[in-house]
């Protein structure tokens, strides 16, 4: 993978992580999540967005489950992704990107198994 692609991906997932931390902390400071769910659950667009997000999380998790060889890591990442969403996804991607060595290809990022 060339340096510019690697820098771009690291920057992208760092910005994603920081943005999600900011919006999550801000939302937490402004409203209790359990109060919010009661008022927005009847809205079908909220439900559609929530289902869309969780199906996206599951799609990403399928790749994580392929990459991780140890059952405990598969379970840990499943719980983290389902509870934290894009916070966990961007963290996982940053961990994977920082494991790359000079000369590694994009294919190695996608297919290298963890835990051998």
Nearest to 5 by CA among 81, 109, 111: 109
Question: What pLDDT was estimated at residue 69?
Answer: 97
The DSSP annotation for 52-84 comes to HHHHHHHHHHHHHHHHB-SHHHHHHHHHHHHHH
Give the number of other Cβ atoms within 10 Å of residue 92's Cβ: 20
Judge whether 63 lies within some domain: yes
Classify residue 83: in a domain, yes or no: yes
Query: To the nearest 10°, the Cα dihedral for 78, 83, 89, 92?
Result: -60
Q: How high is the mean pLDDT of the chain? A: 95
Q: What is the pLDDT of residues 28-38, one digit of tens each?
A: 999 988 888 88
Domain count, the chain: 1
Could you give the angle at the alpha carbon of 89 between the alpha carbons of 33 and 14, nearest 5°?
A: 100
pLDDT tier for residue 43 given thresholds of 50, 70 and 90: very high
Residue 116 lies in a domain: no
- Give residue 21's pLDDT: 98
pLDDT at 57: 98
- Structure tokens, 81: 């992704």
Q: Residue 86's closest CA among 52, 115, 44, 112? A: 52
Domain span holding position 39: 3-111
**Does 10 fall in a domain?**
yes
% residues pLDDT > 70 (the chain): 100
Residue 52 lies in a domain: yes
Taking residues 68-76, what's their average pLDDT? Answer: 97
Tokens at residue 34, please? 């359990």
């Amino acid at each position: 993978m060339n340096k510019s692609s690697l820098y771009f991906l690291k920057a992208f997932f760092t910005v994603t992580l920081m943005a999600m931390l900011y919006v999550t902390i801000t939302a937490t400071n402004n409203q209790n999540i359990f109060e919010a769910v009661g008022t927005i659950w009847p809205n079908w667009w909220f439900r559609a967005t929530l289902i869309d997000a969780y199906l996206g999380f599951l799609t990403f998790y399928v790749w994580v489950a392929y990459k991780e060889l140890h059952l405990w890591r598969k379970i840990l990442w499943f719980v983290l992704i389902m509870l934290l969403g894009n916070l966990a996804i961007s963290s996982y991607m940053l961990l994977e990107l920082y494991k790359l060595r000079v000369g590694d290809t994009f294919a190695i990022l996608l297919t290298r198994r963890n835990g051998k």
